[in-house]
A and B are shown apart, each in its own frame.
Chain A
Amino acid sequence: MSEPARFAPWEDPDAKPLIRFRGVTKRFGTFTAIDGIDLDIFESEFFALLGPSGCGKTTLMRILAGFEDPTEGSILLDGNDLAGAPPNKRSTNMMFQSYALFPHLSVFDNIAFGLRRDRLPAGEVRARTEEMMALVKLQDLTDRRPHQISGGQRQRVALARALAKAPRLLLLDEPLGALDKKLRRETQFELMDIQERTGTTFVIVTHDQEEAMTVATRVAVMDHGRIAQVADPTGIYEAPNSTYVADFIGDVNIMKGRATPADGTVSIEWAEGQPALRCATELRLEKGVTAFIAIRPEKVSISSRRPGNSPNAVAGRVLDIAYLGNVSTYHVEIAGGQVIKAQTANTDRVARQEFTWEENVWLYWSETAGIVLER
């Protein structure tokens, strides 16, 4: 059997995007909520928007849905400019951050609402609505009102309602915020499953970077109305383009210093009297510029003796140990007072916690463990 082709239309220069943002800016008065965004989203993508509160995620969705007009720039859907198209004329549907279920209608009527607006025959409406209810497992709640069902069920009604019209583009604004962690996990997989089966293009907003990494084909990290980076989950995690992105996604140690480039690597002098850190990079850095090394905690090893031939070894003292069950994170203070996190997997039930507080240890990592960043 052959490997299924990797889904990566963004790498194909000939691929036509479903959605294209061109220099989209949105200002509220003097405040710029969206700042010159250029972005392509492709058919059948599961695209995640990630960013701190107030960075403009909801605003971007509202522009896509047609509730706000961009102040500058344009959005193309299938190559057609969306400017001036009201929300009811767009082939997008939105699942609201607040769900926005119609309180005076039953679950069935909520889901059928959009289909009825298309003046479909009653039989077709019924069939499609029942199909949607089955999809989100709500068959037993047909006649209930939104206030008579649980938060998780409401969320699924909202999802089914947005999906019912089979939109080209489905916008999900923090769809899983109300759910507990376990249900959230299940629903994430359900969402991916639905997305795969329907082939709909999803754009999801989330606060939860783990969720974005789980469900998305690509992740965009936003910062004050701009897009800091767009990449697939691995790319965002392993090859962030800035300390902002590295810091936003997962845990990271960032060390700052002066760069001395060598062939394919760079040495970073990070503290007086300490050996420089070596890191592989393709960046062409000037000698003496300020640069950063970002290293994930799980890529930092910890040892009680000085490692023999590691390119990067730093002495330190254990400040704190966080035992999380599956992993332990050691907080180690190194020269200059910086605290570096090192994570070890607890693979053995008994032999965990080899190090204790105040113990002097060595941290070490390989040349390719970290990534060199210019900002």
Chain B
Amino acid sequence: MRRFGWFNATSLTLGLAFLYLPVVILVIYSFNASKLVTVWAGFSTKWYGELFRNEAFLDAAWVTLKVAFLSSTLATALGTMAAHVLVRAGRFPGRTLFSGVIYAPLVMPEVITGLSLLLLFIGIGLDRGVLTIVLAHTTFSMCYVSVVVSSRLVTFDRSLEEAALDLGCTPFDAFRLVTLPIIAPAVVSGWLLAFTLSLDDLVIASFTSGPSATTLPIKIFSSVRLGVSPEINALSTILIAIVSIGVIAASLASKRSAIRGQRDRRSAVRVP
């Protein structure tokens, strides 16, 4: 085996530092005892305590979680349905257009998505609040879900659904009892992805949120403009933890789905 040369080691260190140094610094300073963000004064968890006594932050956190949960659930339902149509329905007039329309938000600048949603909500007279953020997050995260789910569905053996129909299932039952349990890991991974995306989002949320509902990223962003406080560091650390857990869980789920898919394909074909 070749040795891990100094060149490789340096590039790896530099690369990782470039990516994660800011985050690491933020995490470290969240445990700083000093009120001044840039002066280290010993280890302390007091800012976490402060954080949990700050009503405004807690409210924002609650809104964020609520929005993330609702929008990711809605996006998962819609995205899975869209993926099913795209993969299963074969050729129908307008199929290319349909898939284009579903995937467009992936590359659409967030500012534009946010702005257009804002115009829509104003146009139909919807008061901005939790509902509007949920709707906005659903629109942009459902395309991610449908990408994840359709990549699983293309390798899904069609004859399983046909067997279910043959044994007396309605098409809906066939989907519920056979397709869904088998593609569940992909659906879960899509949900986690949508959840994290919603948790992260600042731009679209700031267009669609109103005075009655503020999400954490907006709260953080606005309070940072008044100066960085150690509380914000603590809050960000918690957010980073949640997002990392979400991403890791999503990738584990999709890995599991891939492995299971392979195993199922092996057992579906007739090689003993």
In Å, the complex CA distance between A88 and B266 comes to 27
Q: Is A307 an interface residue (CB 8 A)?
A: no
Q: Is A156 an interface residue (CB 8 A)?
A: no
Interfacial residues, chain A to chain B (CB-CB below 8 A): 65-67, 86-88, 92-94, 96-104, 113-114, 117-118, 145-147, 150-152, 154-155, 161, 165, 177-178
Chain A residues within an 8 Å CB radius of B263: 103, 147
- Is A103 touching B270 in the complex (CB atoms < 8 A)? no
Q: Is B212 an interface residue (CB 8 A)?
A: no
Interface of B (DSSP majority class): helix
- Is A94 touching B271 in the complex (CB atoms < 8 A)? no
Q: Is B163 an interface residue (CB 8 A)?
A: yes
- Is A100 touching B268 in the complex (CB atoms < 8 A)? yes
Interfacial residues, chain B to chain A (CB-CB below 8 A): 157, 159-160, 162-170, 173, 177-178, 181-182, 260, 263-264, 266-272
- Is B163 touching A100 in the complex (CB atoms < 8 A)? yes
- Is B168 touching A114 in the complex (CB atoms < 8 A)? yes
> Closest chain A residue to B180 by CB distance?
A104
Name the residue in B177, B264, B267 with the highest tally of chain A Cβ atoms < 10 Å from its Cβ.
Answer: B267
Contact among B166, B170, B264, B270 with A94 in the assembled complex (CB-CB below 8 Å): B166
- Is A93 touching B166 in the complex (CB atoms < 8 A)? yes
- A-B contacts, CB under 8 A, total: 90
In Å, the complex CA distance between A276 and B220 comes to 103
- Is B264 touching A147 in the complex (CB atoms < 8 A)? yes
> Would you give the shortest CB distance from A296 to chain B, in whole angstroms?
33
- Is B271 touching A178 in the complex (CB atoms < 8 A)? yes
> Would you give the shortest CB distance from A254 to chain B, in whole angstroms?
35
Contact among B169, B170, B268 with A98 in the assembled complex (CB-CB below 8 Å): B268
- Is B270 touching A177 in the complex (CB atoms < 8 A)? yes
Chain B residues within an 8 Å CB radius of A103: 160, 182, 260, 263-264, 267-268
In Å, the complex CA distance between A232 and B269 comes to 32
> Closest chain B residue to A149 by CB distance?
B267
Contact among A65, A98, A104 with B166 in the assembled complex (CB-CB below 8 Å): A65
Excluding A93-B167, A99-B270, A103-B267, 5 further A-B contacts by CB distance (< 8 Å) are A88-B167, A102-B182, A114-B168, A147-B267, A151-B272
In Å, the complex CA distance between A104 and B177 comes to 10
**Given A67-B162, A103-B264, A178 and B270 touching (CB < 8 A)?**
yes
- Is A87 touching B166 in the complex (CB atoms < 8 A)? yes
A sample of 25 inter-chain contacts (CB < 8 A) reads A66-B166, A88-B170, A94-B163, A94-B166, A97-B159, A98-B159, A98-B268, A100-B268, A101-B267, A101-B268, A102-B160, A102-B163, A103-B182, A103-B260, A103-B267, A103-B268, A104-B181, A114-B167, A117-B168, A117-B173, A145-B267, A146-B267, A147-B264, A161-B167, A177-B270
- Is A86 touching B168 in the complex (CB atoms < 8 A)? no
> Closest chain B residue to A179 by CB distance?
B272
Contact among A99, A117, A145, A155 with B268 in the assembled complex (CB-CB below 8 Å): A99
In Å, the complex CA distance between A107 and B247 comes to 35
In Å, the complex CA distance between A375 and B167 comes to 44
In Å, the complex CA distance between A152 and B270 comes to 9
- Is A104 touching B182 in the complex (CB atoms < 8 A)? yes
> Closest chain A residue to B159 by CB distance?
A100
- Is B165 touching A155 in the complex (CB atoms < 8 A)? no
**Given A87-B162, A103-B182, A98 and B270 touching (CB < 8 A)?**
yes
Chain B residues within an 8 Å CB radius of A96: 159, 162-163
- Is A147 touching B266 in the complex (CB atoms < 8 A)? yes
Chain A residues within an 8 Å CB radius of B170: 88
**Given A65-B166, A87-B166, A117-B167, A100 and B157 touching (CB < 8 A)?**
yes
**Given A88-B168, A113-B167, A98 and B269 touching (CB < 8 A)?**
yes
> Would you give the shortest CB distance from B163 to chain A, in whole angstroms?
4
- Is B272 touching A98 in the complex (CB atoms < 8 A)? no
In Å, the complex CA distance between A269 and B222 comes to 103
> Would you give the shortest CB distance from B236 to chain A, in whole angstroms?
40
Sorted from nearest, which 10 A-B pairs have the closest CB atoms? A151-B272, A114-B167, A117-B168, A147-B267, A178-B270, A103-B264, A100-B163, A100-B159, A87-B165, A104-B181
In Å, the complex CA distance between A92 and B269 comes to 23
> Would you give the shortest CB distance from B234 to chain A, in whole angstroms?
43
Chain B residues within an 8 Å CB radius of A98: 157, 159, 268-270
**Given A98-B270, A154-B270, A88 and B162 touching (CB < 8 A)?**
no
In Å, the complex CA distance between A145 and B267 comes to 10
In Å, the complex CA distance between A165 and B169 comes to 13
> Closest chain B residue to A146 by CB distance?
B267
> Closest chain B residue to A150 by CB distance?
B272
